[in-house]
Amino acid sequence: MPPLYILHSTSLLHETLTLLEALDRTDDIHAILSLDRKHHDPINDIPIQHISILDDLPIEDGPGCELVSAIATPKRKELIEKYESMGFEFPTLIHPMAKVEQYAKVGRSLIVFENVGISRPTTIGDHVFINEFCSIASKTKVGSFCTLYPYVTLNEGAEVGDGCFIGADVTIRPGVKVGDRCYIEARSVVTEDIPDDTYAEGDPCRAGKKSDWQNLFKGSRSYKRI
């Protein structure tokens, strides 16, 4: 197997290491490349190297090795696109205890954790991160560069746009559409369509407080109130 490096920011590292262990890929990990300067000591004997989003990767193996993105911020998209253009590979990783039904249409570099169920027909974009115990019903769509936290439920016909972050234990009702670059807070129940660039929370889901999250997106875009 090719050498493996983990891109890490502030979360998802433990889950990613657990997934790689279940896939018997732990010995392939050469280093953790961290954007978080707080981490210094090796994790599970894996060395940590600090990087910035502007850096070239400190990888002696060069293009042809594999990178796994354990990053849950919009920086993830920027980093992946940068390093893909340089020839680095991002593998698809599906936990052996996950169920992705045949004929579900999935994109490149899908990461799926244990006890996830993905029904058919379903369409999932590139570089989607689906955490444990998520349930994705038939006729749903998930855009590229989305992150779904544990226990998310997408009911039949629900749609999630590109670059969304769906918090833990969120339910999206049948046929409801969430726009691009939205952040849905944990334990929300989405009963109506959500426009692009919206931060929303609650049961039923509604506009939340202004969040520093919007400052992570490039440009002058800001989250709408609904």
Domains of the chain, earliest start first: 4-85 (3.40.50), 93-204 (2.160.10.10)
Q: What is the pLDDT of residue 105?
A: 92
Query: Which backbone phi and psi does 53 adopt, to 5 degrees?
Result: -65, -20
The mean pLDDT value of the chain amounts to 86
Higher pLDDT, 221 or 79: 79
176, pLDDT greater than 80: yes
Q: 156 and 137 in contact (C-beta within 8 Å)? A: yes
Q: 208 and 226 in contact (C-beta within 8 Å)? A: no
Higher pLDDT, 100 or 87: 100
Position 219, amino acid = G
150 pLDDT tier (thresholds 50, 70, 90) = very high
Tell me how far apart the alpha carbons of residues 146 and 77 are, in angstroms, rounded to a whole number: 9
Higher pLDDT, 215 or 183: 183
Q: Identify the CA nearest to 90 among candidates 113, 56, 112, 67.
A: 67
Q: Enter the tokens of residue 34.
A: 């961290």
User: How far, in Å, are 64, 65, 71, 91 from residue 60 at the CA level?
Assistant: 11, 10, 22, 19
91 pLDDT tier (thresholds 50, 70, 90) = very high
210, pLDDT greater than 60: no
Q: What is the pLDDT of residue 223?
A: 44
Mean pLDDT along residues 60-76: 80
Chain centre to alpha carbon of residue 110 = 9
Q: Enter the tokens of residue 209.
A: 């407080």
Tell me how far apart the alpha carbons of residues 36 and 132 are, in angstroms, rounded to a whole number: 24
164, pLDDT greater than 80: yes
Q: What is the pLDDT of residue 220?
A: 35
221, pLDDT greater than 70: no
68, pLDDT greater than 90: yes
List own/partner pairs for 142-150 with CB under 8 A and 24 or more apart. Answer: 143/180, 144/107, 145/76, 145/77, 145/80, 147/72, 147/76, 149/186, 150/113
Q: What is the pLDDT of residue 61?
A: 67
